[in-house]
Amino acid sequence: MAVPISQAWTVATYVLKQKLKGRKRYPLVLMLEPLFRCNLACAGCGKIQYPAHILKTDLTPEDCFRAVEECGTPMVSIPGGEPLLHPRMPEIVAGLVARRKYVYMCTNALLLKEKLHLFTPSKYLSFSVHVDGQREHHDLSVCREGGYDIAMEGVRAAVAAGFRVTTNTTLFDGADPNSVRAHFDEMMAAGVESMMVSPGYTYEKAPDQNHFLGKARSRRLFRAILSNRKKNWEFNTHPLFSEYLMGKRNFECTPWGMPTYSIFGWQKPCYLLQDGYADTFQELLDSVEWEKYGAKSGNPKCANCMVHSGHEASAVDYNFSSLKGFWVTAKKYIFPSLYEDADAQKLLNEWPKTQRGPLVQIAAPVVDAKEEAAELQGVSRE
């Protein structure tokens, strides 16, 4: 199974409780961003283009625990930035595990092998390693030659040490579906528990604005990738979200499903857009004009978005909104489909080979010696 039974049960009972309470809008996963600084500068990233004083600021463990308790979700994803750069990340993770939260600590794994000893294996902790495909594609995506090999060293070390390890793959225009499928084989061979794959979002601040996927191209690409699956592939995304990516279903966005808390507070309206901040989670729910977001709103910022942080919660909500939704989802788990599709196979066979240019190395933000020393001591949020 892609996730432990205890995790699936915890999430299911949590969602059912929200339904019984009559909550129309409820969070499913907290996106907890304790910092924005990173040791990579990916061309498609919209999270690290901040001035130095922002990049040097961290949430304290107490800030993190307060946000988790306020939000109440059973799962916490820790993106960034690079969480392993946070000097108190082991303390944050340990505190969340002690609260029995299922934690996905996202990482590019450049530091994973050397910092692995600071963490303890637990069913509540998974290292979600950002691997954007096979070696060449990953290095091109993260703008760092050799990044793939370092990341995979971290993956293998974590698996050998008994940690849960998943992967997170973001695809952009130009992705080769045959290569992505070969990447799935490589990740399963490396011993990862399961994989997540999603199209990239068009961040306004991202240095590269030319390679984000539109919806039609996303559906064509994901149909080629996710049809005719191999039996050993394990995915840690909801099966109906996968069908949404393949163009088999349509879901509206539920931006409140994966709320974001960072050094600025609760981000409006979602993980991907920054239209202001709220001081409390309840203020976030009450103050955002939710009808102005999502594809049907006509908001151009939402037009091409198919990202999991907005739509996977929609699939989960559908799962528990009716007997039909429950039965449809249950069949997907009991009798998992390989999605045999002759036309998708033909599409895969005829997919043109991508011609790549030279790797462009983008410099990460520079921090001088004094600032580095301050970073190691931890710069806490005022």
pTM, whole model, 2 decimals?
A: 0.89
- pLDDT for the residue 355: 52
For strand 260-262 and strand 29-32, is the pairing parallel, antiparallel, or unpaired?
parallel
pLDDT of residue 9: 96
Q: In which residue are the tokens 């979002």 written?
A: 201
Helix residue ranges, H only, 190-238: 215-226
Query: Residue 176's pLDDT is what?
Result: 93
pLDDT at 320: 95
Which pLDDT value is given to residue 146? 95
Q: What is the pLDDT of residue 365?
A: 45
pLDDT at 174: 81
Q: How many CA atoms lie within 13 A of 380 on its CB side?
A: 8
pLDDT of amino acid 1: 60
Q: b or e along 264-299 (b: 16 or more beta carbons within 10 Å of the residue's beta carbon)?
A: bbbbbbbbbbbeebbeebeebbeebebeebbbebeb
Q: Domain-by-domain residue ranges, the chain? A: 5-377
C-alpha to C-alpha distance for 315 and 321, rounded to whole angstroms = 10
DSSP states of 306-356 as a string? --HHHHHHHHHHHHTTSHHHHHHHHHHHHS------HHHHHHHHTPPPPPP
Q: Where are the beta strands (DSSP E) in the chain?
A: 29-32, 75-78, 102-107, 125-130, 164-171, 194-199, 260-262, 265-269, 274-278
Domain covering 5-377 in this structure, CATH number: 3.80.30.10
Using one digit for the tens of pLDDT, what is the confidence trace for 301-322?
998 899 999 999 999 999 999 9
The residue ranges of the chain whose pLDDT is under 50 are 203-204, 206-212, 357-382
Cα 185 to Cα 180, 189, 195, 229, distances in angstroms: 9, 6, 11, 11
Q: In this predicted structure, what is the pLDDT of residue 102?
A: 98
Q: What are the pLDDT digits (tens) for 271-286?
A: 889 999 999 999 999 9
SS3 content of the chain, % helix, strand, coil (to 5): 45, 15, 45
Crossing angle of helices 308-319 and 323-334, in 10° steps, is 110
